[in-house]
């Protein structure tokens, strides 16, 4: 963080198995946010992901890397480990297994574990920043499509990056998750290559981040009268575009 009217943070992506220390910070931050809304345990909060080479966290952190303010994860379908959405919704609607298997041929995955701390809530450096960065880095992983399981207030974020409500599973795309009194919506980004349905401004940013993974973006959050400097570090040095095409 910087002065009163400027916030400077780093938005960094990595393979989970390459940085266990940051994974631990991600887990602690996410756990605190979930517990603050009365959720003690959810499938996507299972900590086994930090040992999964098909999981790629995106963290919004201090420039020195000491503090994680929020983030998300991309889980790639690898033919071995179920996606969080399969574990969460499969027992309610087994069709999700067939859909994921079919889409895995061209590379698919899931954006999950989305959170941001109370400290930065409303300052424009939280959940959506990680969502946009996560979609941007999918090109490096060879993914063509991307699922997400959204809380009602995050569906709008998903639509901004080009997602559609996926109505072929659940009750027109909805489930009660992670508790019976909380509704979740399945969304699918159908075209990572073109991002045709994304908000035009956000599409331009995602395309720029795809071309230049290490890029600084300056934004102004009008409601808070705050300038946000986002230093992106999204390059994945050991990424392979064919690693997650499961035939």
pLDDT tens for each residue of the chain, 247 residues long: 545 578 889 999 999 999 999 999 999 888 877 776 666 655 445 689 999 999 999 999 999 999 899 999 999 999 999 999 998 888 888 999 999 999 999 999 999 988 888 776 666 566 789 999 999 999 999 999 999 998 888 888 899 999 999 988 878 777 766 666 677 889 999 999 999 999 999 999 999 999 999 989 888 777 778 888 999 999 999 999 999 999 8
Residue 121: its pLDDT value, please? Answer: 66
Nearest to 132 by CA among 153, 152, 160, 108: 160
- CB burial string 122-153: b at 16+ within 10 A, e below: ebbbbbbbbbbbbbbbbbbbbbbbbbbbbbee
Residue 91: its pLDDT value, please? Answer: 82
Residue 7: its pLDDT value, please? Answer: 83
The residues pairing with 61 across neighbouring beta strands, listed in sequence order, are 10, 68
Nearest to 90 by CA among 10, 7, 175: 175
Torsion angles phi and psi, residue 165, rounded to 5: -65, 125
Burial (CB < 10 A; 0-12, 13-18, 19+), residue 94, is exposed
Domains present along the chain, CATH in parentheses: 6-233 (3.40.630.30)
Residue 39: its pLDDT value, please? Answer: 66
What global pTM score does this model have? 0.91
- Long-range contacts of 194-202, Cβ-Cβ distance < 8 Å, separation of 24 or more: 195/135, 195/161, 195/162, 196/162, 197/159, 197/162, 197/163, 197/164, 198/160, 198/161, 198/162, 199/159, 199/160, 199/161, 202/132, 202/160, 202/161
- The CA distance from 172 to 182, in Å, is 16
- The CA distance from 160 to 111, in Å, is 14
Residue 181: its pLDDT value, please? Answer: 62
Residue 38: its pLDDT value, please? Answer: 67
For 43, 170, 189, the CA distances from 166, given in Å and listed in that order, are 20, 9, 9
Residue 169: its pLDDT value, please? Answer: 84
């Amino acid at each position: 963080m910087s002065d009163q009217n400027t916030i400077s943070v780093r938005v960094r992506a990595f393979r989970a198995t390459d940085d266990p220390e940051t994974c631990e910070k991600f887990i602690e931050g996410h756990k605190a946010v979930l517990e603050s809304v009365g959720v003690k345990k959810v499938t996507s909060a299972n900590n086994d992901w930090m040992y999964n080479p098909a999981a790629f966290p995106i963290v919004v952190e201090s420039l020195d890397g000491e503090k994680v303010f929020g983030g998300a994860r991309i889980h790639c379908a690898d033919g071995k480990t179920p996606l969080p959405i399969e574990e969460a919704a499969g027992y309610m609607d087994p069709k999700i297994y067939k859909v994921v298997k079919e889409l895995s041929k061209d590379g698919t995955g899931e954006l999950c574990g989305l959170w941001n701390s109370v400290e930065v809530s409303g300052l424009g450096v939280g959940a959506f920043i990680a969502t946009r960065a996560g979609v941007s880095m999918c090109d490096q992983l060879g993914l063509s499509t991307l699922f997400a399981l959204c809380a009602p207030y995050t569906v709008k974020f998903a639509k901004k990056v080009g997602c559609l409500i996926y109505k072929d599973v659940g009750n027109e795309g909805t489930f009660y998750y992670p508790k019976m009194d909380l509704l979740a919506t399945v969304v699918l980004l159908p075209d990572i290559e073109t991002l045709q349905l994304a908000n035009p401004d956000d599409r331009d940013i995602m395309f720029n981040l795809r071309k230049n993974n290490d890029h600084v973006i300056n934004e102004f959050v009008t409601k808070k009268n705050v300038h946000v400097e986002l230093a992106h570090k999204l390059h994945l040095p050991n990424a392979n575009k064919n690693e997650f095409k499961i035939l």
